Structure 1
Amino acid sequence: MSNRNTSDLIEAYLKKILAGNDQVEIRRSEMAELFQCVPSQINYVINTRFTTQQGYQVESKRGGGGYIRIVKLRFSDQRSYLKQLKRAVGKMMTAKEAQLLLQQLYEEQLITKREGNLFLATLSPQVLGIFQEENYLRAHLMQAFLERLSYEDEE
């Protein structure tokens, strides 16, 4: 089984649990045993597929009784959610991070598939790659996009 497929399976498993619960608590070694992979692959999936930009908060406790807790973020309103995403963007953003954030906005029904694809094309390395500070510019554009989305709520 390839690493990519195993990562997809781990992600799907955790998201299935999270669909019925606000949080899931796992032990890395138990998950690794369940999916017959190394514990670092569990870390990889959690670090890349359960980020704040994707609507999750991850907490961990190391040691004998250690655990990893993944919490699906819930916001009282759309504006709070967009504000949190804007803070999470920071000063730099890769093309992959932009893709994941736009996917999250689509899944939360804040943008249409067409809007997401149009903005994804705008943020692509083919467009922004001509600038020295591509990741800085991408983050700045994403923050402006999120800011504008929060104003849509008022109209």
Structure 2
Amino acid sequence: MARLSDLIEAFLKELIKDADGQIIEIKRNELANEFKCAPSQINYVLTTRFSVEKGYAVESKRGGGGHIRIIRLKIDDTQLIYNIIGQIGDSINMTKAVSLVNFFLERGIIKEREARIMLAAVNNRAIDIDSEIKNNVRASILKSMLASLLR
């Protein structure tokens, strides 16, 4: 069963898709009521799933008529890859690596087969080394694979 965060993310992405991939405006409290969750859960989804590095801008207006605006950014794929390579840094855990690969798949930058290969290369079984450096090796492998997309 999907986690609540996944359901909220999927719902918001469907709204964006229905809005021709442009801009949607939501009321955080209304969305929280619809999903029967705390407004902080909505904030969590917006912060973790709709960040600039994932191709979104989130603006909020507080007050009685307040709303949250989610904007799908039109970022060149090459620039996006460069930005994400820079953000990976020297270390990445498996959860974040999976999230990034799924993001590239969702954006159409990579295909399903490429995503499976990338995930196989960075998973914990493939990187069978001391856990202290596992995330460093994973980051190097992932950045190398992403850099190969730029060629």
TM, length-normalised to structure 1: 0.77
CA 1:15–1:130: 2 relative to 1, 3 Å: same
- Letter of the aligned partner of 1:18 in structure 2? I
Aligned counterparts, 1:56-95, within 5 A: 56-60=56-60, 66-75=66-75, 77-95=76-94
| Alpha-carbon distance between aligned partners in 2 of 1:103 and 1:147, rounded to the nearest angstrom | 17
Shift of 1:139: 2.0
Per-residue deviation, 1:105: 1.6
Report deviation, 1:98.
Answer: 1.0
Cα deviation for residue 65 of structure 1 reads: 5.7
Give unpaired runs (5+ residues) of structure 2.
none
Equivalence map 1:74-153=2 (5 Å):
74-75=74-75, 77-128=76-127, 130-131=129-130, 132-151=132-151
Secondary structure of the corresponding residue to residue 71 of structure 2: strand
Count of aligned pairs between the two proteins: 148
Q: CA deviation at 1:128?
A: 2.6
Q: Please say if residues 58 and 68 of structure 1, whose CA atoms lie closer than 8 Å, have aligned partners that are also in contact.
A: yes
Q: Percent of aligned positions with the same letter in both sequences?
A: 39
Gaps of 5+ in 1: none
Normalising by structure 2, what TM-score? 0.79
CA distance in 2, matches of 1:120, 1:113: 11
Matches of 2:40 and 2:22 in 1, distance apart? 24
1:140, distance to aligned residue in structure 2 (A): 2.4
The alignment's C-alpha RMSD in Å is 2.5
Q: CA deviation at 1:15?
A: 0.4
- Distance verdict in 2 for CA 1:58–1:115, change over 3 Å: same
